[in-house]
């Protein structure tokens, strides 16, 4: 009897060791190589070692919680989507919902529709103008006589074009602000936290640029997953989306945001 109990304990211990030492599944996830405060920091192909961005921090948490080994590849945004469509990367972060974007990869869904409860974050787009400018927005209508700068590939580009605005697509919000300061464009549409960040850290921009109230729109942002990875790892893919939502709501994770201000 004692021998039988000993054998059971031994087998259980061996099983626990094997599970604990199981090789972590390796994934590659892409994000933009331009700063998207506070999701990913720095204009670089590298991940910053300190305060790399809340999206990057979430990936680190995802690795621990699901026993994954994730490589983050920073690329121009349009290429992030293209590489996901080809299956060269298993996912991208973060993307707002666009119906046509479903051609590149999958969003978390429930009953066949995108599931906002499993978003990573929500973010607002704001309009920025030069101080003293006649640019106006009342929440419904724009009064802009020239071009509006917006980051290439971002969902706000199509939103503005649908409203009849002349959109000048650029590589980044920082670049758009510089163009506006030189008089090459009349206004800038940007993610509010990104735009406000540049006004906070750049004195020249802070002195000459201002945000227009009200905000243009607020949108949820998601981690997307490639169709190829989803088809071969459906259960894990669903678990990734669920875990991302859990990380978003974790008070300890939320406290890390103060490090970015």
CATH superfamily of 124-218: Periplasmic binding protein-like II (3.40.190.10)
Q: What is the pLDDT of residues 49-78, one digit of tens each?
A: 999 999 999 999 999 999 999 999 999 999
User: Which residues, 6+ apart, have CB-to-CB distance to 154 below 8 Å?
Assistant: 77, 191
Q: What is the pLDDT of residues 124-157, one digit of tens each?
A: 999 999 999 999 999 999 999 999 999 999 999 9
* pLDDT digits 0-9 by tens, 5-22: 444 444 444 444 444 446
Query: Quick one: tokens of 17?
Result: 């060791």
29: CB partners within 8 A, 6+ apart: 59, 70, 71, 72, 73, 89, 90, 91, 92, 93, 223
The values of phi and psi at residue 191, to 5°, are -60, 130
pLDDT exceeds 90 at position 4? no
Q: DSSP H helical segments within 166-226, as ranges?
A: 173-181, 192-201, 203-208
Q: What is the pLDDT of residue 202?
A: 96
CATH 3.40.190.10 residue window(s) in the chain: 26-120+220-260, 124-218
- pLDDT (tens digit, 9 = 90+) per residue, 191-237? 999 999 999 999 999 999 999 999 999 999 999 999 999 999 999 99
Q: Which two tokens stand for residue 180?
A: 């506006």
What angle do the packed helices 173-181 and 192-201 form, to 10 degrees?
A: 60
In CATH, what number does 26-120+220-260 get?
3.40.190.10
């Amino acid at each position: 009897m004692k021998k039988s109990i000993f054998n059971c304990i031994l087998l259980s211990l061996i099983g626990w060791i094997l599970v604990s030492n199981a090789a972590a599944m390796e994934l590659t996830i892409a994000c933009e190589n331009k700063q998207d405060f506070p999701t990913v920091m720095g204009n670089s192909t590298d991940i910053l070692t300190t305060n790399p961005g809340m999206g990057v921090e979430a990936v680190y948490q995802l690795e621990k919680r699901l026993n994954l080994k994730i490589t983050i590849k920073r690329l121009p945004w349009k290429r992030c989507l293209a590489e996901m469509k080809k299956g060269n990367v298993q996912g991208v972060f973060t993307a707002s919902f666009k119906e046509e974007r479903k051609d590149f990869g999958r969003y978390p869904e429930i009953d066949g529709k995108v599931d906002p409860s499993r978003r990573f974050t929500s973010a607002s787009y704001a309009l920025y103008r030069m101080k003293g400018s006649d640019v106006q927005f009342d929440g419904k209508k724009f009064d802009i006589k020239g071009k509006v700068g917006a980051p290439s590939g971002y969902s706000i580009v199509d939103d503005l074009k649908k409203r009849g605005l002349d959109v000048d697509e650029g590589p980044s919000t920082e670049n758009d602000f510089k163009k506006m300061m030189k008089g090459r464009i009349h206004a800038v549409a940007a993610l509010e936290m990104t735009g406000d960040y540049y006004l906070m850290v750049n004195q020249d921009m802070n002195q000459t640029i201002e945000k227009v109230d009200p905000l243009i729109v607020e949108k949820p942002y998601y981690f997307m997953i490639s169709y190829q990875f989803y088809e071969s790892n459906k259960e894990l893919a669903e678990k990734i989306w669920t875990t991302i939502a859990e990380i978003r709501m974790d008070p300890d994770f939320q406290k890390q945001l103060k490090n970015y201000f």
